[in-house]
Amino acid sequence: MPYVLGVDVGTTRTAAAVCRLGGTGRAEPEVVGLGGPGGGVASTLQLTPDGAFAVGEPGDPRWTATGFARRVGDAVPIVLGPDPLSPDFRDADAEQCMAEELTALMVMWVADQVAAREGERPAHVVLAHPPGWGAHAKGLMHRALRSVGVAASLVPEPVAAAENHAYSRSFAGSLGVFSLGSHGFGASVVGRGFELLKAVEGVDQAAGVDFDDAVFSHVRTSLGRELAELDADDPRTRGLFGRLRRDCEAAKRMLSGTVETSIPVHLPSGPVDVPITRAQFEDLIRPDVEQAVAVFDRVVSGGVEMTVLVGGSARIPLVAASVPGRVVLEAAPETSVVKGAALAARRLVVGPDAEPEPTETSVMVRDDDPSLRFPVGGLDAPDAEFTAPPPRPPVDITPLDLPERRTVKRVVRGLVPTGGRRARDSEDGR
Ligand SMILES: Nc1ncnc2c1ncn2[C@@H]1O[C@H](COP(=O)(O)OP(=O)(O)OP(=O)(O)O)[C@@H](O)[C@H]1O
Ligand SMILES: [Mg+2]
């Protein structure tokens, strides 16, 4: 059955969702499993010796690109290659990639994976992007996507979040979007016509990885000298810390569902478990959460009908409890943007008229004002006043007709699996 594809290339996780075009009834966005954490795939591209990129696999950090999606528009390339401080380093051994090229390759990979599963290419692709992207970043992204053969439109992440929200619950005024992922914090206001009215992205604002650090610091404080005295140059110590960081992240996620857990630490003297309670974790991250909420408060200045929480870190109970006003949270808030991107793609293809009425599926986690219409947990009772959605003009989509750029082609050509570094090396006469 024909379908459209939404893609969200996050700093740590890339997610995909499809929306069917045929059939009867509502076309619900479906998150597509990509074989990695939380149904997505890690946003990493590792350049392998044969010149191909391996997607989502942990590998040699010198040859692995990470965090590129939020660097689109940055003129500084991401350099992959040997340690530039090593004495035998040669410039020619390193590979320079622009962030938009890497992001486009990620989208291409996702589109290929989904097409292989579906047996056909998507009718259209929509890529969600940080709200701060201006014409320059969007232009670069369009060209890079075109260079890898992907015809895609772009939609700001908060607009995608609003699209997803409107699928399950219509809104008559404007919508606040509080976004907290692994690295990015965003506070935005989206109008009822899906226009982005305001958007602020936190530059120094803490997010998921900083909360992992908070758990890590708790472990360090608890173990004291036992951890501090380990030989930092010993590869076993590096292995221990790498594993400990992953376990701290896992413990943080666990604390969203339980009130106490522990972090295993594999010390040379034997394994120990460091307990941590949700209350302790909340005390550690409270200043960061309060700062994010203060920024959000300033951006929305009380003028939104309700606020949707999106991004994996929105699962932290303290976050939902701290955002003021009426707050809506999906069971998997890290998928809200990608589902909205798929819905935006569908609307682009079928037009705004074919939209059915929303059904109530998202979770209203809190409602500060008892006189307001959605009671806490009031999911079963559809609200009569909200059943008629407002007219829906097309989302803010950047046009595709931009000229090609040579540098993108160069990098893309170098990335075909059979060409690779060796092929380029021989071209260069090395
Ligand atoms: N149950 C949970 N409790 C707390 N944090 C969680 C939970 N599940 C996932 N996270 C955190 O959410 C973050 C990932 O969220 P998400 O997938 O939205 O980020 P991203 O899109 O890759 O990054 P960004 O939007 O910042 O560029 C990680 O820091 C992860 O640890
Ligand atoms: Mg994200």
Please indicate, yes or no, whether residues 11 and 68 belong to a single structural domain of this protein.
Answer: yes
Instruction: Tell me the CATH number at 250.
Output: 3.90.640.10
* CA separation, residue 312 to residues 249, 275, 428 (Å): 12, 23, 45
Of all protein residues, the one whose alpha carbon is nearest to atom 4 of ligand 1 is: 253
Query: Mean pLDDT lowest for which of 81-85, 152-156, 373-377?
Result: 373-377
**How many Å apart are CA 210 and CA 285, to the nearest integer?**
9
C-alpha distance from residue 111 to each of 40, 162, 418 (Å): 13, 23, 20
- Within 6 Å (CB) of ligand 1, which residues are found? 10-13, 70, 181-184, 207-209, 249, 252-253, 256, 311-313, 315-316, 334
Query: Based on the structure, what is the number of domains in the chain?
Result: 3
Mean pLDDT of 82-109: 85
List the alpha helices (DSSP H) in 224-277. 225-228, 235-254
Same domain, 139 and 90: yes
Measured from the CA of 185, which atom of ligand 1 is nearest? Answer: 26
What mean pLDDT comes out for the span 242-266?
96
Identify whether residues 305 and 176 lie together within a single domain: yes
Token look-up 């060796």 returns 422
| 146 Cα: distance to centroid of ligand 2 (angstroms) | 23
- Residue 164 falls within a domain, yes or no? no
pLDDT surpassing 70 at residue 427:
no
Residue predicted with more confidence, 263 or 60 = 263
Same domain, 10 and 132: yes
Position 371 pLDDT exceeds 80: no
Q: What is the CATH number of the domain that holds 146?
A: 3.30.420.40
Within this chain, do residues 315 and 195 fall inside the same structural domain, yes or no?
A: yes
Residues 57 and 121 in one domain: yes
Secondary structure element (H or E) that encloses residue 86, with its range: none
Which of 86-100, 133-147, 170-184, 190-204 bottoms out in mean pLDDT, i.e. has the lowest? 86-100
pLDDT at 420 exceeding the cut of 70: no
Q: Are residues 332 and 315 in the same domain?
A: yes
Same domain, yes or no, for 180 and 325?
yes
One domain for residues 33 and 118: yes
User: Do 199 and 271 share a structural domain?
Assistant: no
Protein residue whose Cα sits closest to atom 28 of ligand 1: 182
- pLDDT of 224 higher than 70: yes
pLDDT tier at 42, thresholds 50, 70, 90: very high
- Residues 6 or more apart in contact with residue 411 via CB below 8 angstroms: 97, 98, 101
Residue whose CA is closest, atom 12 of ligand 1?
Answer: 312
Q: Do 151 and 240 fall within a single domain?
A: no
Confidence of residue 91 (pLDDT cuts 50, 70, 90): confident
Residue 179's domain comprises 171-206+293-337+357-386
Query: In this structure, are 243 and 193 located in the same domain?
Result: no
Q: What is the pTM of this model?
A: 0.84
> Average pLDDT, stretch 175-202?
95
